[in-house]
Structure 1
Amino acid sequence: MSSLSKRSVAAHSWHDLEIGPGAPAVFNCVVEITKGSKVKYELDKKTGLIKVDRVLYSSVVYPHNYGFIPRTLCEDGDPMDVLVLMQGEKDDKIIAVCVDDPEYRHLTDLKELSPHRLNEIRRFFEDYKKNENKEVAVNDFLPPTTSLEAIQHSIGESFDHLNSFFLLISSQE
């Protein structure tokens, strides 16, 4: 039988990929948007494909890679975001760094990030939807223990089941 006659089935990036054996402290991340991009990509929940959602209508670009944690489900009906804000509802975000990145892998708490880096992240989220007449308020940067609890809760809400450390941003739009 030729390979052309066989039907290929791709893994669904939300349901089929493993969260990782070290979750919630160390987890896999599906990156939807790369650092420096003005294009907002988003998971198509039905197909598992990453599709273009929109182009940012301002001069801001995404300050870091971000996406979601597979096999998680949050109050907004989406997987747990990693450095992502969503429309309309309270939606906690996880700031994650790659454990293989020599610049960031030693970090274990927000206090270890430079004030400039924190301000850059806060400013991005406060500004990136202004030209769409949408306001975003970054309320607090919370400790890693709160992040662990949020991820654990989102795992439980999901399917009853980027390696990184993470920090939580509490925000509302």
Structure 2
Amino acid sequence: MAPPSDASVKSSEPRALVKSSESRHPRPPLNERILSSLSRRSVAAHPWHDLEIGPGAPTIFNCVIEIGKGSKVKYELDKTTGLIKVDRVLYSSVVYPHNYGFIPRTLCEDNDPMDVLVLMQEPILPGCFLRAKAIGLMPMIDQGEKDDKIIAVCADDPEYKHYTDIKELPPHRLAEIRRFFEDYKKNENKEVAVNDFLPAAEAYKAIQHSMDLYATYIVENLRR
């Protein structure tokens, strides 16, 4: 019988190496939803993990917009593909008052990146990223679970970039934001509670904590 060809020998080597490598380095016990976003990607760059947060964080940072100002469609990041998908159309007769998205390379207790509401003049297309400046924190409980939101302004919008703290915003603007989040899930029979807005210093702490949690839970586990 003829000896195996070089091609057949070469084709078997990678499988053997993969099996040997997997036995020596078992996969870390990461949450499946997070793990799926780190592997089997269908895009070249994943906005959660590959986009830098920026050197000015936690004060000024990059953020990815999922939902444009004035939209009734709830878009969100698909963690497996890195693409923006349609989650649902809002059940209530409301629209997002400002651009809404997430901060890359952050992680919160709900296994999602940190949410951010960005005040600026114009709606932004889902999937775009921009520089934002944190001015406050909106503590929120969504169906019994913590789901805080960073309130920020676009750092490159001349109408908003001068704001440094949430107390500088008109009271009506804060009431508008609060009312949206209190109402947008009511017709889905889901309860949302919004507490008093907190100053910029608390937003910085929340962002830094989410950066540290991301570094500890994701980066360090992947190095094992």
Query: Which AA in structure 1 matches 2:116?
Result: V
| Matched pairs, number | 154
1:31 and 2:65 correspond: yes
Structure 1 runs, 4 residues or longer, greater than 4 Å off? 84-87
**Structure 2 Cα separation of the partners of residues 9 and 73 of structure 1:** 21
Q: Deviations over 1:76-97 (max 9, x none)?
A: 1000000397843111110111
Matching residue within 91, 94, 116 for 2:172: 116
Give the 3-state SS of the residue equivalent to 1:32 in structure 2: strand
Give the 3-state SS of the residue equivalent to 1:140 in structure 2: coil
**Structure 1 Cα separation of the partners of residues 191 and 76 of structure 2:** 20
What does residue 159 of structure 1 align with?
Answer: 215
1:68 and 2:102 correspond: yes
1:12 and 2:68 correspond: no
What does residue 194 of structure 2 align with?
Answer: 138
What does residue 105 of structure 1 align with?
Answer: 161
Q: Deviations over 1:34-78 (max 9, x none)?
A: 000000011111111111101001110000001000000001100
What does residue 114 of structure 2 align with?
Answer: 80
**Structure 1 Cα separation of the partners of residues 180 and 166 of structure 2:** 17
Give the 3-state SS of the residue equivalent to 1:52 in structure 2: strand
Name structure 1 gaps, 5 residues minimum: 1-7, 162-173
Q: CA contact under 8 A between 2:43 and 2:81: conserved in structure 1?
A: no
Name structure 2 gaps, 5 residues minimum: 1-41, 118-137, 220-224
Q: TM-score, normalised by structure 1?
A: 0.84
What does residue 41 of structure 1 align with?
Answer: 75
Give the 3-state SS of the residue equivalent to 1:153 in structure 2: helix
Higher RCO, 1 or 2 (CA under 8 Å, sep at least 6)? 1
The structure with more helix, counted as a fraction of residues: 2
Q: Which has the larger radius of gyration?
A: 2
Tell me which moved more, 84-93 or 152-161.
Answer: 84-93
What does residue 169 of structure 1 align with?
Answer: none
> Is the alpha carbon distance of 1:134 and 1:100 closer, same or farther for their aligned partners in structure 2, counting shifts above 3 Å?
same
Q: CA deviation at 1:10?
A: 2.0
Q: TM-score, normalised by structure 2?
A: 0.65
Give the 3-state SS of the residue equivalent to 1:51 in structure 2: strand
